[in-house]
């Protein structure tokens, strides 16, 4: 089982010295990767993540962490793809993969915060269509010797991006989301699937739905097996980690109960003492 850490872009970790110290501590104790989320402009006064909590931009944060670390993986969990410009994003992701020497994993999702999507030129109505199209456009830029794309939301021809990503044909793509269309997206075009806040039983049920989706939608052979990543509720003990592995999970992305204070640093130390080398 791979164990990753979520949340160094938020709360008390947004302080630059604290961010680097905690990233290096996670690398030292043996975490597989550092994952960050993606919200750019949250609505004030609504339920969910607090809009006034410090939150560093995801792409910039992973670029900084690429320079601050040497071995640990770097992941987006997840980029809200429809609110990004895909030609620019493809270049940014390639740059992180190159600068980190091939340590990047790209998680993508459609988003759900309507005011944020609207502020960035997308909408709830077109978010899924944009996500599918933007993924296809980025793959063309990464994969094709003479890229050209003509879509509803993005079109280009006669342009080239170099260097290419270190990981070929591109960094692993992990699809987040619990809707049937997200399952289809993961099965048909993703290297992995990412589920949020799922206990073992809900994970098992979700993976059954993914397998059922795979019976109806052909998975390209070049993608190989679908890697399953879960963020569990709370910090699992070694027995619970084994139960996740038994139902088919490959990676757990752990987060503390709060992003304030020293909670994430305490989690890093606890996991290093109780789970690393035991899973």
146-174 mean pLDDT: 97
DSSP state of 164: P
pLDDT at 278 exceeding the cut of 70 = no
Q: Is the pLDDT of residue 131 over 60?
A: yes
Report the pLDDT averaged over residues 74-91: 98
Instruction: Give, in order, the Cα–Cα distances in Å from 22 to each of 12, 51, 149.
Output: 11, 23, 41
- Mean model confidence pLDDT for the chain: 96
Please write the tens of the pLDDT for every residue from 168-224.
Answer: 999 999 999 999 999 999 999 999 999 999 999 999 999 999 999 999 998 988 889
Read off φ and ψ for residue 100, nearest 5 degrees: -90, 0
Question: pLDDT (tens digit, 9 = 90+) per residue, 104-129?
Answer: 999 999 999 999 999 999 999 999 99
CA dist., res. 254 & res. 251, Å (int): 10
CA distance 33 to 23: 9
Torsion over CA: 105, 108, 112, 115 (sign): positive
Over range 230-254, report the average pLDDT: 97
Question: Which tokens sit at 117?
Answer: 């999507």
3-state helix vs strand vs coil in the chain, percent to 5: 45, 20, 40
Q: How far from 151 is each of 109, 133, 207, CA to CA, in Å? A: 19, 7, 32
- pLDDT of 279 > 80? The answer is no
Task: Give the pLDDT of residue 67.
Answer: 98
**pLDDT digits 0-9 by tens, 56-81:** 999 999 999 999 999 999 999 999 99
Structure tokens at 60: 């910039």
Residue 78, preceding peptide bond in cis (omega within 30° of 0):
yes
Domain range list for the chain = 2-274
Give the pLDDT mean for 82-93.
Answer: 98
pLDDT digits (tens, 9 = 90+) for 245-275: 999 999 999 999 999 999 999 999 999 988 8
pLDDT at 274: 87
Q: Is pLDDT above 60 for 34? A: yes
CATH fold, domain 2-274, is TIM Barrel (3.20.20)
In whole angstroms, what is the distance from residue 57 CA to residue 50 CA?
15
Which parts of 168-238 are beta strand (E)? 173-176, 192-196, 227-231
Q: How far apart are CA 22 and CA 51, in angstroms?
A: 23
Local confidence band at 48 (pLDDT 50, 70, 90 cut-offs) = confident
Task: Please say if the pLDDT value at position 42 is more than 90.
Answer: yes
């Amino acid at each position: 089982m791979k164990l990753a850490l979520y949340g160094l872009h938020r709360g008390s970790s947004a302080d630059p010295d604290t961010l680097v110290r905690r990233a290096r501590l996670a690398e030292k104790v043996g975490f597989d990767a550092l994952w960050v989320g993606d919200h750019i402009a949250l609505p004030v006064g609504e339920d969910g993540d607090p809009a006034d909590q410090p939150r560093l931009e995801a792409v910039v944060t992973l670029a900084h962490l690429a320079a601050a670390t040497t071995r640990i993986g770097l992941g987006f969990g997840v980029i809200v793809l429809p609110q990004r410009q895909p030609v620019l994003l493809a270049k940014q992701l390639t740059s992180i993969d190159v600068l980190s020497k091939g340590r990047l994993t790209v998680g993508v999702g459609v988003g759900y915060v309507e005011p944020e999507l609207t502020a960035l030129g997308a909408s709830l109505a077109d978010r899924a269509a944009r996500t599918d199209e933007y993924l296809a456009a980025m793959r063309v830029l990464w994969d094709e010797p003479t890229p050209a794309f003509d879509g509803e939301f993005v079109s280009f021809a006669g342009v080239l991006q170099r260097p290419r990503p270190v990981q070929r044909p591109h960094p692993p793509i992990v699809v987040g989301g619990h809707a049937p269309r997200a399952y289809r997206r993961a099965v048909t075009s993703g290297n992995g699937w990412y589920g949020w806040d799922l206990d073992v039983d809900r994970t098992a049920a979700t993976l059954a739905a993914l397998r059922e989706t795979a019976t109806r939608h052909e998975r390209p052979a070049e993608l190989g097996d679908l890697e399953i990543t879960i963020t569990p509720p709370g910090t699992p003990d070694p027995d619970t980690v084994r139960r996740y592995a038994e139902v088919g999970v490959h990676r757990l992305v752990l987060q503390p109960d709060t992003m304030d204070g020293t909670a994430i640093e305490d989690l890093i130390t606890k996991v290093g003492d109780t789970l690393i080398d035991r899973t």
